[in-house]
Chains A and B, each alone.
Chain A
Amino acid sequence: EDKVVQSPLSLVVHEGDTVTLNCSYEVTNFRSLLWYKQEKKAPTFLFMLTSSGIEKKSGRLSSILDKKELFSILNITATQTGDSAIYLCAVVRDSYGQNFVFGPGTRLSVLP
């Protein structure tokens, strides 16, 4: 059965810390991996990763995919209280359309 696992499930850090969130997957017909940030509302799309070893960056956030070992990491440097959210990882299966399998999310709390 296809599955996406995220760790840790919950994380508390202080402002300025660097965090690494993990996402591993066992999915047939992998196409791509996506990261989202969800605060008290709708998810916000962060990154889409399709190729191994190519880092995607946006400000203090970066992510990389390892297709051989079947995992991805999301790094957040110099964390701020505004980074507090649930971070979701989803894998898109290769099909005629886009078929998603979501992980449970990592709840990040950044304390001042």
Chain B
Amino acid sequence: DSGVTQTPKHLITATGQRVTLRCSPRSGDLSVYWYQQSLDQGLQFLIHYYNGEERAKGNILERFSAQQFPDLHSELNLSSLELGDSALYFCASSVMETQYFGPGTRLLVL
């Protein structure tokens, strides 16, 4: 157990819908990262937040957005969902060099 929690574990929804994925970092970790992992594209970095501030963006679509709240938990919002958004979404938190990944949310868009 990494100490990073993600909810929900599984999510099934329809195209065009909007979902929110939640991540709670390890106690004391200020950085939160979001990743998408699909079979055809491997692991893709989406976005990095540090202490509530967006620090870096990777391959994040405009339909996706994220935020980190004062209590340091983070949410990833996915809207106008498409079939291709079906994937495993990980968040990770870090302090210093080491990253700790959560168990992931498996999203299935039908």
Spell out A's residues near B (CB within 8 Å): 34, 38, 41-45, 48, 88, 90, 95-105
Contact = CB atoms under 8 A, between A and B. Distances in A.
Given A42-B90, A43-B90, A45-B99, A98 B104 contact: no
B85 to A, nearest CB: 18
Given A95-B56, A99-B57, A41 B42 contact: no
A43 B50 CA distance: 21
Contact of A97 (B42, B56, B97, B102): B56
Nearest to B48: A97
Contacts of B55: 95-98
Interface of B: 2, 31, 33, 42-45, 48-50, 54-58, 90, 92, 97-104
Given A48-B97, A95-B56, A97-B56, A43 B48 contact: no
Nearest 4 pairs between A and B by C-beta? A97-B55, A97-B56, A42-B101, A100-B45
A42 B45 contact: no
Contact of A99 (B43, B58, B104): B58
Contacts of A42: 2, 90, 101-104
B23 to A, nearest CB: 12
B101 to A, nearest CB: 4
Contacts of A48: 97-98
Nearest to A41: B103
A105 B42 contact: yes
A61 to B, nearest CB: 14
Nearest to A97: B55
A97 B99 contact: no
A44 B99 CA distance: 8
B64 to A, nearest CB: 16
Given A45-B99, A90-B45, 13 more contacts: A41-B103, A42-B90, A43-B90, A44-B101, A45-B100, A88-B43, A90-B43, A95-B56, A97-B54, A98-B48, A99-B48, A99-B56, A102-B42
